[in-house]
Amino acid sequence: MDNKTLTRGFRKYRDVATRVEPARTDPLEVDLRQNFEKLKEIFSNTPDLINRRFILKADNRQALLAYLEGLSDKSSINRDILTPLKQGTAEINGINDFPATIGEFHQLTDWGQVEHMLFAGYSILFIDGEKVAYACGSQGWPQRAIEDPQLETSLKGAHQGFVETGGANVALIRRYIPNRELKIKQFTIGARSQTKLSILYLSDVANIQTLNVLEERLSKLDVDAVINTGELAELIEDSPFSPFPQFILTERPDAASSQILQGKFVIVVDRSPSALVGPVNFISFFQSVDDYSTRWTIATFIRMLRLLAFFIAILLPAIYISVVSFHFEVIPMKLLSTIGQSRAKVPFPPYMEAVFMELTLEMLREAGVRLPAPVGQTVGIVGGIVIGQAIVQAGLISNIMVVVVAFTAIASFILPNYDMGAAVRLVRFAMMLFASLFGFVGIVVGLMTLIAHLLSLKSLGVPYSTPFGPVRFRDWKDTMVRIPIWLMKNRPTSSNAQQDTRQGDTGHPREDERH
C-alpha cells in the first residue's frame, strides 16, 4: 500500500480506488521456509510480530509460531502451545486431535485468514509440510478490570460496568439473561478498524421489522474506522441534525439487560466500554436503574422531579429574560422591587447577562470534566466564589441572575442521561434567543417547535416521543409515574414487542395471604 492512499485515507474512504486492498486469497504454501518469507513480506515493519521457530517433538518437523506481542497471552502460549508441542509425544492428526491444550482452535488455508487471525490476537502455527496453518486462541491484551460505571453511577444497582472487550461485555449481559432466546448477531464494521459489533436481543420478544432496519443500516455502513460506540450511534441514527440523542449509550450491563427484556436491541461494540440501546423513546432518558430498586412512590416522585427539572433547565433563563425585558407586569409588587434593585446597577441587558452567565457555567463544567479530580474541585471552588460573590459585588451581574443560573445548573444535573443533559443545554440557548427577541410569544413558539421536533423524531423507525405522541396510555405506567413492578405486566408498546406480556404471573405479592 502506498503512502499517498494512507494520507488521503479519511476524506476519500468512500472512493473505491483508494480503499484498503481486498483481502488476500492466495493460499498457503507447503514449505515452511516459503511461508516464513511470505509472512515477513506481508508484515514488514512490524516489530511486535514474534516468530518462534521450533521443532515438534512428536515427528521432528520444523514449526513456526507467529503472534503479535501485546495481543496475545504469553503464559498461555508457553503453557498450552509451546510446552505440549515441544515436549509432548502425541502426533498431530489434523485439527480434531491437536496436542495443544488450548480451547479455541481453527484451521487456516489462505493468507487473508492468517492476517485476520493474527490481528485478532491468535497465534498462528505453521508446520513444515502442511498446506494449512493453525490458529490458536491465545488472545490476551491489556485489559481493565471490571469497575463501577463512571458516568451512570447508581446507589442500589449493580456495580459492574462494561469494559473494553466486546466478549466480556456480552458475557456480562448474558449473566442477567441466561435464556436461549437471547440471540447475538455479529457484524464487522470499518474497513480499517474491523470493529466487531454484536446485536443482542430476545428473539421471541423483539420486533423483527426493527431488527431488519437495524441490520440494513449496519450493513450499508462503509467507513474507515469505528473507534467508539458514540461514533456508531451517529452513523446509524435517524435524524443526524437533531440535538437530541436517539440511542441510549449505557455502560451498565443491568440497564442494557432490562432494555433487552423490554424488547429493545443492544449493540455491543468491541473495544468500547458502552453499549448502544435502540429503539428508544424520549422518556427512557429519564429512567434510571435505581428507579426500579427504590420504592415505587419515591421512584414516581423522582421521575416527576426529573421532568420538572427538564422544563426548568430549558425554560428558566428564557423566562427570566422575557419577564425582565418584556413582561415585567407579571411580577408581583414585592418581587418587582427586589428585581429592580438588583438589576439597577447592572450595565448589561438581561439577555447578555444570561448568555454570559450560562456560558461561564458551561465553561466551568467543561473545565471540571477534563481535569483530574483534585484540580477539578479547585475549579468548582474558584467558580463558585468568583461567580457567586465577586461578580455580583462588582455589579456585573444581578443577584437574581445568579440564582437563575444556579437553579438551571442543578436542574440540568438531575437528568440521569448525559447526552440528554447536553441536548437540554443546547436547547436552552435557543430558547434564550427566542425569549430575548419575542418574550413569551417566543417561548411558546419555541416550545411548539420543540414539541413538533420531538414528535417528528424517530429512533430506528419507531416514534421517539411515544407514549406521549402518539399517545399510548398503557405505556404511561413507566413514564411520569412508575407503578409497582408487580403491576407492570406488559412490555411497552413502543418497542413493538412480539410477545406483549412479560413472563410470570405474580400479582399483588401478598394477594393470597389476604383471603
444 binds other proteins (CB under 8 A): yes
CA distance 211 to 214: 5
428 scored as a contact of other proteins (CB under 8 A):
no
469 forms part of the interface with other proteins (CB under 8 A): yes
- Taking CB under 8 A as the criterion, the residue among 138, 436, 479, 495 binding other proteins is 436
Give the residue, chosen from 47, 142, 332, 504, that forms a contact with other proteins under the rule CB under 8 A: 332
| Angle in degrees, CA 396, 401, 407, rounded to 5 | 140
In terms of CB distance, is 62 or 325 closer to other proteins?
325
Quick one: CA dihedral 284, 290, 294, 299, positive or negative? negative
Q: Which long-range contacts (CB under 8 A, 24 or more apart) does 57-61 make?
A: 57/85, 57/86, 57/87, 57/88, 57/89, 58/85, 58/88, 58/89, 58/90, 58/91, 58/92, 58/99, 59/91, 59/92, 61/127, 61/128, 61/129
The Cα 408–Cα 391 span in angstroms is 18
Assess 442 for contact with other proteins (CB under 8 A). yes
Q: Which CB sits closer to other proteins, 349 or 509?
A: 349
Q: Are 255 and 152 in contact (CB under 8 A)?
A: yes
The one among 305, 385, 445, 487 contacting other proteins by CB under 8 A: 445
* Smallest distance from other proteins to CB 443, Å: 7
Decide: is 336 part of the binding site for other proteins (CB under 8 A).
yes
With binding defined as CB under 8 A, does residue 344 bind other proteins?
yes
Pick from 298, 363, 437, 487 the residue near other proteins by CB under 8 A.
437
The three-state secondary structure class of 459 is strand
Question: By CB under 8 A, which span of 12-20, 75-83, 133-141, 326-334 interacts with other proteins?
Answer: 326-334
Residue 474 makes contact with other proteins by CB under 8 A: no
Q: In angstroms, give the least distance from the CB of 327 to other proteins.
A: 5
Question: What is the smallest separation between the CB atom of 396 and other proteins, expressed in angstroms?
Answer: 14
What is the DSSP track for 69-131? TTTB-HHHIIIIIIHHHHH-----BTTTB-SS--S-EEEE-BHHHHHHHHHTT-EEEEETT-S
How many residues bind other proteins, per CB under 8 A? 46
Report the largest interatomic distance among the alpha carbons of the chain, rounded to a whole angstrom: 100
For the CB of residue 332, give the shortest distance to other proteins in the complex, in Å: 5
Q: Which stretch binds other proteins (CB under 8 A): 139-147, 284-292, 346-354, 411-419?
A: 346-354
CB-side exposure of 48: number of CA atoms within 13 Å?
9
Which stretch, 4-12, 143-151, 217-225, 327-335, contacts other proteins (CB under 8 A)?
A: 327-335
User: Could you tell me the smallest distance in angstroms from the CB atom of residue 252 to other proteins?
Assistant: 31
Cβ–Cβ < 8 Å for 356, 406:
no
Which candidate, 407, 397, 414, 409, places its Cα nearest to that of 286? 414
Q: Return the C-alpha cell found at 271.
A: 473495544
The continuous run of DSSP H or E covering 512 comes out as helix 511-514
Nearer to other proteins, 252 or 428 (CB): 428
Measured distance CA(402)–CA(356) in Å, rounded: 11
Interacting residue with other proteins among 56, 64, 268, 346 (CB under 8 A): 346
Compute the least distance from the CB of residue 444 to other proteins, in Å: 4
Q: How far is the CB of 11 from other proteins (least distance, A)?
A: 17
Q: Where are the beta strands (DSSP E) in 342-467?
A: 458-459, 462-463
Does position 18 interact with other proteins (CB under 8 A)? The reply is: no
> Which of 343, 425, 482, 491: binder of other proteins (CB under 8 A)?
343
Residue nearer to other proteins on the CB measure, 155 or 344: 344
Contact set with other proteins (CB under 8 A): 241, 324-333, 336-337, 339-341, 343-344, 346, 349-350, 434, 436-445, 447-449, 451-453, 455-456, 463, 465, 468-471
